[in-house]
């Protein structure tokens, strides 16, 4: 068995935190094992808990549209969450729950080795951009080694606050520009360097 299916089997059988007692199904994530772009949300909601798949509710439908704005297709990207089981009542994930899932996410990142990691929401943002706020850094990116990390609002934010829709769409169009600038695998070294117009955030 290859590494990714093994990780996902471990997620489905996991009892590391209390979420295992209230979930219907764990939601490891889905997408190609060699995806170049990886989206990391916060946690499964009701529909995700029922189906065992990430982003299949209203926020997921919006995410599909936003992914297309970036010039991508859902089937070409990998989508997962910081926590793999639904917090009861869709509450925020707790620190111990995030920690319990941390190793699974690390394994997914190492196995898939994406060129771009997009965080959706403040909890996934906090792993890669500690000490920052989503309202300040959404749409901005940081290049570490061969990986570009980009922070974005969670799609659900646009469903709750329609005023955010325009900003979120602009961020996804910017993601498309970053993908275009990176070019094909192996071309990263010759890709255009970030200009002064692209604010880079240093990871703490």
Classified as helix, coil or strand, 69 is: helix
Classified as helix, coil or strand, 12 is: helix
């959404």: which residue's tokens? Answer: 138
Spacing of C-alpha 27 from chain mean position: 13
Q: What is the gyration radius of the CA atoms in the chain, in angstroms?
A: 16
Q: How far apart are CA 113 and CA 92, in angstroms?
A: 27
Q: Please tell me the predicted confidence (pLDDT) of residue 183.
A: 82
> Does the 8-183 domain belong in CATH 1.25.40.10?
no
* Residue 130 DSSP one-character state: T
The tokens describing 91, both together, are 């509450």
The 10s digit of each residue's pLDDT in 14-48 is: 999 999 999 999 999 999 999 999 999 999 999 99
Q: Please tell me the predicted confidence (pLDDT) of residue 186.
A: 52
């Amino acid at each position: 068995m290859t590494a990714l299916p093994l990780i996902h089997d471990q997620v489905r059988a996991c009892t590391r935190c209390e979420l295992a007692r209230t979930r219907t199904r764990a939601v490891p994530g889905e997408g190609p094992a060699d995806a170049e772009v990886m989206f990391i949300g916060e946690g499964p909601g009701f529909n995700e808990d029922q189906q065992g798949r990430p982003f299949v509710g209203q926020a997921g439908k919006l995410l599909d549209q936003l992914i297309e704005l970036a010039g991508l297709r859902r089937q070409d990207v990998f989508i997962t969450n910081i926590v793999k089981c639904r917090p009861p009542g869709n509450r925020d994930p707790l620190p111990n729950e995030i920690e319990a899932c941390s190793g699974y996410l690390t394994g997914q990142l190492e196995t898939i080795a994406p060129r771009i990691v997009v965080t959706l929401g403040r909890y996934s943002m906090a792993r890669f951009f500690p000490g920052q706020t989503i309202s300040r850094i959404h749409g901005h990116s940081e290049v570490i080694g061969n990986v570009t990390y980009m922070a974005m609002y969670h799609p659900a934010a646009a469903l709750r606050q329609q005023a955010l829709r325009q900003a979120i769409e602009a961020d996804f169009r910017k993601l498309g520009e970053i993908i275009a600038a990176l070019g094909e695998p192996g071309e990263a070294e010759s890709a255009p360097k970030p200009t002064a117009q692209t604010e880079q955030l240093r990871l703490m």
